[in-house]
Chains A and B, each alone.
Chain A
Amino acid sequence: MGITATGHSEPATSGERIVRVGCPAHNCGGRCLLVAHVQGGRIVRLGTDDRPGDTLADPQLRACTRGRAYLRRQYHPDRLMYPLKRVGRRGAGEFERISWDEALDLVAGQMRRVKETYGNSALFVPYGTGSYSQLNGSVVARRLMNLFGGCLGIYNSYSWAAINVATPYVYGTLETGNQRQDWLNSKYILMWGWNPAEMRDGTNSELFVRRAREAGARTVCVDPRMSPTAVALADEWIPIRPGTDTAMMSAMAYVMLTEGLHDAGFVRTHCVGFDASQMPPGCVGEESYSDYILGARDGVPKTPDWAEPITAVPRATIARIAREYATTKPAVLYQGYGMQRRAYGEQVVRAGCVLAAITGNVGIHGGWASGLANQPDGGCAWYVFPTGENPVPASIPVFLWSEAVLHGKGMGAEHGVIGTERLDNDIKFIYAIATNCLVNQHADINRSVEILRDETKVEFLVVQDQFLTSTARYADVILPACTQFETWGVEDGWKYGEEVLLMPKVVEPPGETKSDYRICAEIAERLGFGGEYTEGRDERGWVDWCLDSYRRTRFPDLPSLDAFEASNAGVHSKPVTAPAVAFEDFRRDPEKHPLDTPSGKIEIFSARLFEMRRPDEIPAVPKYVQEWESPFGPEAARFPLQVIGHHTLHRVHSTHDNNDWLEEAFPQRAFINPLDAEARGITDGDEVRVWNTRGATVLRCRVTLRVMPGVVDIPEGAWWAPDEHGVDRAGSINVLTSHRWTPLAFGTAQHTAMAQVEKA
């Protein structure tokens, strides 16, 4: 048999040019390789990674359905082709075509005016990942602002706010993950709220879990929804009531403690705060983790009996999973990110880390410390393009931009402001580049658009994008950006980072579109620092610069740009034959290799959190805290269903919403359990109205056993489409979500929302 799946290469037909190119970078969690077939200046077909071999150490980077359907976005008739200026009231969606000169003069003029009137700290570039390569998206606007004297900064992200902040309180670092090939050394993999088969948490993560199972690992998936991961990768699925994961984790700890299943030796030598014998200085006599779990202070032992009515997981199941995880070693407890985008998201992150620690699964092959799990050597570089230093020292958490518009001046640490005591300005000018976070992806859309509509607050709003998104509808000026196939870019593997993907310009930008970089360079020119902005480089020149940076760090063998381009390889990878393990040194000798925590050890009890003196919301040991909207609160009487919004393969957040092949594959639906549907007279396919005090959305439903009772699941990212009554008709979940942020990380808690569902 001469034909196998390996050793092949995409054929070019006559008159065709083939370009291997990194899949346009959005914030999907994958970084994959496409093979673009170009005929007559147009991409006609997109293959995927065709490198021979496809080994465990260096697997092919096969694109998902979104990458393979990309041409429906690339050649969509609604692409923005020329600059637009608002003519109606803000948000009415009425625009007229203007020239580039007029558009750029307007933007540069407004930047100058706002700077002169208020100062640089009134300028703002929001979080955005709609284009997310080193040369595309918000990075190029940050460089522009920084050379202009700076703008109000941001820190953290929508995706990982709580996990970014909470992980270091336990471990002193975000680098808590082993390299993924190491999962093949695991005997037990607990995928907690983690769905790599759908959200692509690193290209090939789902494949590595598959291989780990084949190597003998038992796999369990804890999720309110029977996700694609639960179907394809799990031996067992355990549905859990959203927002109660920490209760189940605490009850698991109870079983371990009372049955002596925890690794007492490791806890003694590597942790602090487990029990009264190892409390940090100044906290002796305070409530230890064991005290909390056993109920020594609050009189409530965190037994499986206690957890069952909270989590809806049977007590026997909780106890069994506790025993399995504690005794089947080495084991992985991989924490997904959805459950930390919730009311007390910091707690579940710390609770998972503590389970990994007290079972001794830290610093060993086949184990996993939990937490954010960046790679031991830092993993991917995230940002390489030189944005420069921001001369404005103040930064806000990304999620609080709406507060900085409403009442920025005077905002301080109580709103997570860093770099200054108090902000000296409200946000007055926004340059929104490759982002739908001002409207569609931010919490509480009806509140957000109310804020944006007021032209005395944000005085000028520039949106730079490829489509008239929900956010772009609120722009004063829209600048049409080209896609990532139409300019140069470069990216490295997302989170895990074992490859560099070249993104050569494949086709010319259509209409009057320009690259994000070119647009910013032309604004810089108008502001008088064009030369400083470009340093004489075009997009390809900056890719060369970025390759140098990669070469100096993780990829010393990276070829020159000319050679990389000439090879048409598209990818330069670093095969992983000996997967690295986080905390190996610390495990071996905690005195010689202390962690970067105050105690140098794993902090089950955090003295720093204790000092904050907010034990109800920020306890010193991880605790289950009932959410501010919950099935157990008075709000449940009117709004009895919990709303979650999974990451669908229809979209990358809101990108691709208008892709018809993806709508065909994964139509936007409200997923609801048959028991909840029957109780409301709803049948499969009905139009339903999902609503709460913040808003309403009408969409068709899918009645499915794959969502647990009490939960309605509306995949995030559909483009908000209000009717004349303000009711969304697109299934845009953020008309239902709350802008209240998490207590420690000031992160989004958008998944904490209650609603009612009725037949529309």
Chain B
Amino acid sequence: MAASRYAFFFDAASCSGCKACQAACKDKHDLPVGLLWRRVYELVGGRWDREGEAWVPDVFAFNLSLACNHCDAPICAEVCPTGSMRRRDDGIVLVDPETCIGCRYCAWACPYGAPQFDDVSGRMTKCTFCADHLDLGLPPACVAACPMRALEFGERSELEERHGPSPGFFPLPDPALTKPGLAIVPHRDARRAGPRTAAVANREEVGR
């Protein structure tokens, strides 16, 4: 029985930022350098203090592995002028390369950076949730890859039942905006992160 509504689960508390998910995604979908359907953001904040002759860190860091969240209210589909971005009945949001004109409205609208422009084809591309795998009853490549077992997938309500409710936290947008299919356990330091206290430290690694 297929899930009626697919979602990812991500345990930010246990993610080391190893990027096995990212490499597995690139391998599965033959993505060139520059296309990162799944990517890992490194959030860092804090300060260093000198106490006597000691160095005392008040430093925190955590990782966020993000792909497309296949939102319930996919703003990418809303803004697409050609109707190429569509949500399937099972919740998977896909772009139709036949009709996409590569205008990038979806990329500008998506608060997660999920749709990405392919310079070669001139079309938008994005995470497919490995729909071909799902159709065969198999997990997406990123989920099967995680050495720390920090990524899962399934039906959102079920994932939240198993792992607890998913709070919104910096730098993720308010989930009310697009209703993302993303259940998440925050790292303990996520509560310390805000626009003035933390920053994406690896901007050059996540592109766009």
User: Which residues in window 72-112 of A have CB below 8 A to B?
Assistant: none
Q: Is the CB of A685 within 8 A of B137?
A: no
Q: Mark A56-86, 1 if CB is under 8 A from B, else 0.
A: 0000001111101101000000000000000
Please give the distance in Å from A12's CB to the nearest CB on chain B: 11
Q: Is the CB of B205 within 8 A of A3?
A: no
Contact flag A1-B57 (CB < 8 Å), given A8-B138, A231-B16: no
Interface-lining segment among B19-27, B96-104, B113-121: B19-27
How far apart are the CA atoms of A138 and B63 in the complex, in Å? 39
Q: Is the CB of B23 within 8 A of A69?
A: yes
Q: Which of B20, B59, B134 contacts A65 (CB 8 A)?
A: B20
Contact flag A3-B16 (CB < 8 Å), given A8-B138, A660-B33, A705-B59: no
Q: Is the CB of B204 within 8 A of A309?
A: no
Q: Mark A380-403, 1 if CB is under 8 A from B, else 0.
A: 000000000000000000000000
Say whether A379 faces chain B, with CB atoms less than 8 Å apart: no
Q: Is the CB of B14 within 8 A of A232?
A: yes
Contact flag A48-B14 (CB < 8 Å), given A65-B20, A661-B26: no
How far apart are the CA atoms of A708 and B158 in the complex, in Å? 42
Q: Quick one: closest B residue to A204, CB to CB?
A: B147
Q: Is the CB of B144 within 8 A of A48?
A: yes
CB-defined contacts of A62 to chain B, threshold 8 Å: 20, 144-147
Q: Is the CB of A314 within 8 A of B136?
A: no
Say whether B163 faces chain A, with CB atoms less than 8 Å apart: no
Q: Is the CB of B16 within 8 A of A11?
A: no
Q: Which of A2, A5, A673, A704 contacts B152 (CB 8 A)?
A: A5
Q: Is the CB of A228 within 8 A of B33?
A: no
Please give the distance in Å from A594's CB to the nearest CB on chain B: 40
Q: Is the CB of B22 within 8 A of A665?
A: yes
Q: DSSP majority for the B interface?
A: mixed
How far apart are the CA atoms of A68 and B29 in the complex, in Å? 12
How far apart are the CA atoms of A72 and B123 in the complex, in Å? 24
Q: Is the CB of A706 within 8 A of B27?
A: no
How far apart are the CA atoms of A68 and B31 in the complex, in Å? 13
CB-defined contacts of A54 to chain B, threshold 8 Å: 149
Please give the distance in Å from B64's CB to the nearest CB on chain A: 12
Say whether A237 faces chain B, with CB atoms less than 8 Å apart: yes
CB-defined contacts of B144 to chain A, threshold 8 Å: 5, 8, 47-48, 50, 62
Q: Quick one: closest B residue to A673, CB to CB?
A: B48
Q: Is the CB of B55 within 8 A of A46?
A: no
CB-defined contacts of B134 to chain A, threshold 8 Å: 3
Q: Quick one: closest A residue to B12, CB to CB?
A: A232
Please give the distance in Å from B124's CB to the nearest CB on chain A: 20
CB-defined contacts of B196 to chain A, threshold 8 Å: none
Say whether B89 faces chain A, with CB atoms less than 8 Å apart: no
How far apart are the CA atoms of A27 and B37 in the complex, in Å? 30
Q: Is the CB of B201 within 8 A of A702?
A: yes
Q: Is the CB of A665 within 8 A of B27?
A: no
Please give the distance in Å from B154's CB to the nearest CB on chain A: 6
Interface-lining segment among B39-47, B77-85, B173-181: B39-47
Q: Quick one: closest A residue to B1, CB to CB?
A: A2
Say whether B2 faces chain A, with CB atoms less than 8 Å apart: yes
CB-defined contacts of B59 to chain A, threshold 8 Å: 226, 237, 705-706
Say whether A709 faces chain B, with CB atoms less than 8 Å apart: yes
Q: Is the CB of B154 within 8 A of A709?
A: no
User: Which residues in window 288-314 of A have CB below 8 A to B?
Assistant: 308-309, 311-314
Say whether A667 faces chain B, with CB atoms less than 8 Å apart: yes
* Interface bracket on B: 35 or more
Q: Is the CB of B154 within 8 A of A198?
A: no
How far apart are the CA atoms of A5 and B21 in the complex, in Å? 14
Q: Is the CB of A45 within 8 A of B33?
A: no
Please give the distance in Å from B50's CB to the nearest CB on chain A: 8
Say whether A155 faces chain B, with CB atoms less than 8 Å apart: no
Q: Quick one: closest B residue to A69, CB to CB?
A: B23
How far apart are the CA atoms of A62 and B143 in the complex, in Å? 11
Q: Mark B137-159, 1 if CB is under 8 A from A, else 0.
A: 11101011111110011110010
Q: Which of A3, A46, A665, A667 contacts B19 (CB 8 A)?
A: A665
Q: Quick one: closest A residue to B35, CB to CB?
A: A664
User: Which residues in window 304-330 of A have CB below 8 A to B?
Assistant: 308-309, 311-315, 317
Q: Is the CB of A226 within 8 A of B152?
A: no
Contact flag A232-B57 (CB < 8 Å), given A1-B154, A63-B20, A68-B23: no
Say whether B172 faces chain A, with CB atoms less than 8 Å apart: no
Q: Which of B51, B55, B158 contacts A239 (CB 8 A)?
A: B55
Contact flag A706-B61 (CB < 8 Å), given A229-B16, A661-B26: yes
CB-defined contacts of A11 to chain B, threshold 8 Å: 133, 136, 138
Say whether B195 faces chain A, with CB atoms less than 8 Å apart: no
CB-defined contacts of B139 to chain A, threshold 8 Å: 3-5, 8
Q: Is the CB of A231 within 8 A of B27?
A: no
Q: Is the CB of A705 within 8 A of B204?
A: no
A sample of 9 more A-B contacts (CB under 8 A), given A62-B146, A65-B18, A232-B16, is A5-B144, A11-B133, A66-B23, A68-B20, A228-B16, A231-B16, A237-B57, A666-B19, A667-B205
| Residue ranges of A at the interface with B (Cβ–Cβ < 8 Å) | 1-5, 8-11, 45-48, 50, 54, 62-66, 68-69, 71, 197-198, 203-204, 206-207, 210, 226, 228-229, 231-233, 237, 239, 308-309, 311-315, 317, 649, 660-662, 664-667, 673-675, 685, 702, 704-706, 708-710
Q: Which 9 A-B pairs have the closest CB atoms?
A: A197-B16, A68-B23, A228-B16, A309-B53, A232-B16, A314-B54, A65-B23, A69-B23, A312-B55
Can you list 15 A-B pairs, Cβ within 8 angstroms, ordered by A? A3-B134, A3-B137, A3-B139, A4-B154, A45-B27, A63-B147, A65-B18, A69-B26, A71-B27, A204-B147, A226-B57, A308-B52, A313-B54, A705-B57, A706-B201
